[in-house]
């Protein structure tokens, strides 16, 4: 039996790698419906040389990525970050070094097999224009031989996961989608076969800033549900701060200038290169690191459009606030109703109140929330969950208090860190980075 | 005898010729398409091979059709073999060129994506590259067919099948009362066939080009 396997010849590097490969795919199969969580990735002195070029494009990159972690490669264009990423699924074959995923050495296995276990999403989505959304998503499950019924269920599940209505988008073609929707489908396709690892190569580089923001929020929400190991390449440091558990700031030839948490990089850049890359306004950027979920969301009196008018009047009267939030049939914020609005509109819900024009998700950063609150004339913004349903409200007061606490905590952290640094210097150790990493970790 | 009477009295012969003409062109197109796309698939990835393929097929096209058939007669004899060989060779250029252009025109990002999600080389070719290159290839096939319709008439010179026989017979008996009618009937027949084939290709395009990339 062992001799008949075709794939055996591809992964013939050693018996140990063969057996661990089996266990990885078994895990995949076993938990596919429940979701495979991340795998570790180890890069060991990864190098890429191109013929005719004396300087390697990527030189000696070593890095350990923990299971379930989101790691961002950020750096100027041409620094080799994309090349490094593509070496993980061997779209670019490394000239030297090893790659291990979940402890399994994948440097010499059949690249096609490897890539089916590693999700891949690229800029401008890479959807195949001649296939429908469903066909695009079904590609990898089909290739690894899932049953038709299972694939169908999975496609629905994936569309739902990325926040697209399965019935509506299932049989559309990519060109009938907006850029943001295409990108969502791209992510759905990458995740369809439930790979433990997801590689993303500037996936949001080609969409407009507003959509990009939404997609980033979506990715954060997804990652909260899925716990994949994500390696994400971008040249946008703000995006890196927003998405990353850890950020690898890369300089030319993919040399790691600093590999640490966003907080640590912001408050203590390793050198001039990193601080140059962080750019100005580090304090404001700090707001990007805290999310709406971390601050108090206040509950607000709500009614739905289906409630009888009398109930709405009653709620308005008995609520302590001056206004209530009207939700639509699907529980999404629809209008702010003030006292008297209904009277003025002669009891017509269609005409009363002001439309909700901006909402934030729980995963939105405080900066987004602040932005939304500042632009709202009453200084509050509705927080929504999946499919835009109402979850609560954040107002100016909550934000100000949280920001105040945040900055205070940071100041203390920095002081403590300063102290630590002095201590470590005093003890003449060379572990400044690690010492810092523990102190500066997320509070 | 006017043209309509001529058509009436000879319609059986004309229909048989037209059928043979169409069937010869159709069969040669099938062979030319298979060979042409295969050449395209084998050569599009290298600049050098692609150029050689395009150049050599266009060199074939510059050979006058009468000379080509004349040259093939001593090798393959009279009748169907030289006709099929000549038509297939002439049909190659547009198909080879459009296959190469079409396959090279596939967005590299899509090929990258196909690779990245774990499609093997044959799967990439069959499921991504060829379907995306299909519209230009189909255009090549259309152009080829139009061309072969005309060239197929020359096959009568080698006693081949088709409407060319009417034309040649007419030319050979110029001056006789039906000469002009014969030439006219053959020519018009070819035009009608060409239009019918073209309509069939439009239909084929509607059926085979996925909605997502139809323009």
Position with higher pLDDT, A363 vs B99: B99
Q: Identify all chain A residues contacting B212, using CB atoms and an 8 Å cutoff.
A: 129-132, 173-175
Q: How confident is the model at residue A23 (pLDDT cuts 50, 70, 90)?
A: very low
3-state secondary structure of A239: helix
Q: How confident is the model at residue A9 (pLDDT cuts 50, 70, 90)?
A: very low
Joined tokens for residue A432: 């400044």
- Segments in A227-340 forming alpha helices (H): 237-243, 262-267, 272-278, 282-286, 309-318
pLDDT band at A125 (very low <50, low <70, confident <90, very high): confident
Cβ-nearest to A131 among B117, B120, B212: B212
Facing residues of A336 across strands?
A325, A354
Band the pLDDT of A421: cuts 50, 70, 90: low
Closest-approach residue (CA) in chain A for B128: A128
Chain B hits for A119, CB-CB cut-off 8 Å, are 117
Going by DSSP bridges, is the β-strand pair A246-250/A256-260 parallel, antiparallel, or unpaired? antiparallel
C-alpha distances out from residue B191 to B2, B149, B188, Å:
20, 8, 5
For residue A168, with 0-12 CB atoms within 10 Å meaning exposed, 13-18 middle and 19 or more buried, which class applies?
exposed
Residue with tokens 């079904």: A138
Q: Is the pLDDT of residue A207 over 60?
A: yes
| B131: nearest CB among A127, A130, A173 | A130
pTM of the model: 0.68
CA distance A104 to A11: 11
Q: Which residues of chain A have a CB within 8 Å of the CB of B117? A: 115-116, 119-120, 139-140, 189-190
Bigger pLDDT: B1 vs A292: A292
User: Which pLDDT value is given to residue B153?
Assistant: 87
**What's the pLDDT at A29?**
38
Written as six digits, the tokens of A32 are 């596919």
Inter-chain touch A173–B210, beta carbons under 8 Å: yes
With bands split at pLDDT 50, 70 and 90, how would you rate the model's confidence at B95? very high
The arithmetic mean of pLDDT across residues A320-347, rounded, is 80
pLDDT tier, A255 (very low <50, low <70, confident <90, very high otherwise): confident
Q: At A332, is the secondary structure helix, strand, or coil?
A: coil
> Quick one: average pLDDT of B43-63?
90
The mean per-residue pLDDT over the stretch A187-193 comes to 89
| Residue of A139, A168, A149 lying closest to A33 (CA atoms) | A149
Q: How many CB atoms lie within 10 A of CB A387?
A: 11
Write out the two tokens for A319: 């609520």
Least CB–CB distance from B116: residue in A122, A130, A143: A122
Query: What residues in chain B have their Cβ under 8 A from chain A's Cβ atoms?
Result: 109-110, 112-120, 123, 127-128, 131-132, 210-213
- Both structure tokens of A207: 């969409």
Query: Taking residues B122-145, what's their average pLDDT?
Result: 93
> What mean pLDDT value characterizes chain B?
89
CB within 8 Å: B109 and A123? yes
From B123, which residue of chain A is nearest by alpha-carbon distance? A143
In contact, A129 and B213? CB cutoff 8 Å = yes
Q: How far is CA A154 from CA A142, A239, A323, A425, in A?
A: 11, 29, 43, 55
**A-chain residues within 8 Å CB-CB of B214?**
none
Q: For residue B127, which residues of chain A lie inside 8 Å, CB to CB? A: 128
Shortest CA gap B100–chain A (Å): 19
Identify all chain A residues contacting B120, using CB atoms and an 8 Å cutoff: 112
Contacts of residue A86, Cβ cutoff 8 Å, sequence gap at least 6: A92, A201
Element (H, E) at A388: none
Angle (CA) B101-B102-B108 rounded to 5° is 100
A75-112, pLDDT tens digit by residue?
A: 888 888 888 999 998 998 888 888 999 888 888 888 88
Predicted ipTM of the assembly: 0.81
Of the candidates A130, A159, A134, A163, the one whose C-alpha atom is nearest the C-alpha of residue A148 is: A134
Gap between the Cα atoms of A208 and A42, Å rounded: 34
pLDDT at position A24: 39
In this predicted structure, the answer to whether residue A124 has a pLDDT above a threshold of 80 is no
Q: What is the CA radius of gyration of chain B?
A: 20
Smallest Cα distance from A82 to chain B, Å: 13
Residue B46 phi, psi (nearest 5): -115, 130
Q: Chain A: nearest CA to B104, how far in angstroms?
A: 16
pLDDT tens by residue, A130-180: 999 999 999 999 988 899 999 999 999 889 888 888 888 888 999 888 888
Q: Identify the closest residue of chain A to B209 by CA–CA distance.
A: A130
Rg (CA), chain A: 25
Nearest CB neighbour to A120, from listed B116, B123, B127:
B116
- Report CB contact under 8 Å: A126, B113: yes
Chain A hits for B128, Cβ within 8 Å: 128
* Shortest Cα distance, chain B CAs vs residue A167, angstroms: 18
Half-sphere exposure of A66 (CA within 13 A, CB side): 10
Strands of the sheet containing A58-65, edge to edge, are A58-65, A41-48, A96-101, A104-105
Which distant-in-sequence residues (6+ apart) come within 8 Å of B106 by Cβ? B128, B129, B132, B133
Tell me if B117 and A175 make a contact (CB, 8 A cut-off): no
Q: Do A126 and B110 touch (CB under 8 A)?
A: yes
Sign of the torsion angle spanned by Cα atoms A130, A135, A137, A139: negative
Angle at B122 between CA B118 and CA B127, to 5 degrees: 75
């Amino acid at each position: 039996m062992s001799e008949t396997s075709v794939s055996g010849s591809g992964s013939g590097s050693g018996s140990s790698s063969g057996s661990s490969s089996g266990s990885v795919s078994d895990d995949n199969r076993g938990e596919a419906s429940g979701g495979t969580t991340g795998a570790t990735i180890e890069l060991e002195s990864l190098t890429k040389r191109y013929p005719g070029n004396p300087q390697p494009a990527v030189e000696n990159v070593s890095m350990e990525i923990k299971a379930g972690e989101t790691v961002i490669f950020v750096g100027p264009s041409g620094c080799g970050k994309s090349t490094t990423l593509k070496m993980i699924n061997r779209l670019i074959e490394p000239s030297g070094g090893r790659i291990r995923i979940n402890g399994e050495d994948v440097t010499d296995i059949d690249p096609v097999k490897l890539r089916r276990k590693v999700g891949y999403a690229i800029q401008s989505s890479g959807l195949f224009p001649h296939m429908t959304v469903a066909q695009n998503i079904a590609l990898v499950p089909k290739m690894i031989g899932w049953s038709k019924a299972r694939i169908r269920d999975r496609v629905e599940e994936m569309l739902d996961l990325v926040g697209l209505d399965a019935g509506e988008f299932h049989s559309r073609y990519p060109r009938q989608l907006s850029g943001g929707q295409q990108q969502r489908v791209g992510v759905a396709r990458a995740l369809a076969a439930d790979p433990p690892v997801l590689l993303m190569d500037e996936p949001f580089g080609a969409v407009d800033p507003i959509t990009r923001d939404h997609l980033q929020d979506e990715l954060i929400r997804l990652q909260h549900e899925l716990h994949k190991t994500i390696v994400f390449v971008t040249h946008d440091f703000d995006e890196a701060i927003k998405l990353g558990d850890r950020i690898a700031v890369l300089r030319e030839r993919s040399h790691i200038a600093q590999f640490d948490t966003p907080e640590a990089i912001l408050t203590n850049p390793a050198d001039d290169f990193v601080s140059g890359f962080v750019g100005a306004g580090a304090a404001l950027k700090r707001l990007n690191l805290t999310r709406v979920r971390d601050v108090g969301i206040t509950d607000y009196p709500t009614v739905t459009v289906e409630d009888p008018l009398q109930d709405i009047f009653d709620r308005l009267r008995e609520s302590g606030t001056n206004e209530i939030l009207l939700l639509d049939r699907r529980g999404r914020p629809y209008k702010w109703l003030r006292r008297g609005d209904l009277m003025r509109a002669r009891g017509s819900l269609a005409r009363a109140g002001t439309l909700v024009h901006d909402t934030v998700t729980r995963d939105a950063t405080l900066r987004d929330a602040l932005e939304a609150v500042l632009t709202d004339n009453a200084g509050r913004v509705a927080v929504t969950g999946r499919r835009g349903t109402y979850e609560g409200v954040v107002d100016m007061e909550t934000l100000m208090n949280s920001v105040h606490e945040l900055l205070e905590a940071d100041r203390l952290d920095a002081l403590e860190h300063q102290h630590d640094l002095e201590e470590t210097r005093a003890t003449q150790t060379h572990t400044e980075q690690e010492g810092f990493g523990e102190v500066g970790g997320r509070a | 005898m006017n043209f309509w009477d001529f058509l009436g009295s000879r319609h059986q012969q004309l229909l048989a010729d037209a059928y043979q003409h169409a069937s010869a062109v159709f069969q040669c197109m099938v062979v030319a398409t298979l060979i042409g796309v295969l050449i395209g698939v084998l050569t599009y990835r290298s600049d050098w091979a692609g150029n050689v393929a395009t150049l050599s097929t266009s060199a074939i096209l510059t050979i006058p059709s009468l000379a080509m058939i004349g040259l093939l007669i001593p090798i393959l004899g009279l009748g169907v073999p030289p006709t099929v060989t000549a038509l297939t060779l002439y049909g190659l250029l547009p198909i080879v060129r459009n296959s190469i252009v079409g396959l090279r025109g596939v967005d590299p990002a899509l090929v990258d994506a196909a690779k990245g999600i774990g499609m093997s080389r044959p799967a990439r070719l069959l499921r991504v590259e060829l379907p995306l290159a299909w519209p230009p290839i189909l255009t090549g096939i259309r152009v080829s067919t139009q061309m072969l319709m005309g060239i197929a008439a020359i096959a009568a010179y080698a006693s081949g099948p088709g409407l060319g026989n009417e034309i040649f017979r007419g030319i050979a008996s110029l001056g006789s009362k039906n000469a002009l009618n014969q030439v006219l009937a053959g020519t018009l027949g070819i035009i009608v066939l060409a239009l019918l084939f073209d309509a069939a290709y439009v239909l084929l395009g509607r059926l085979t080009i996925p909605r997502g990339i139809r323009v």
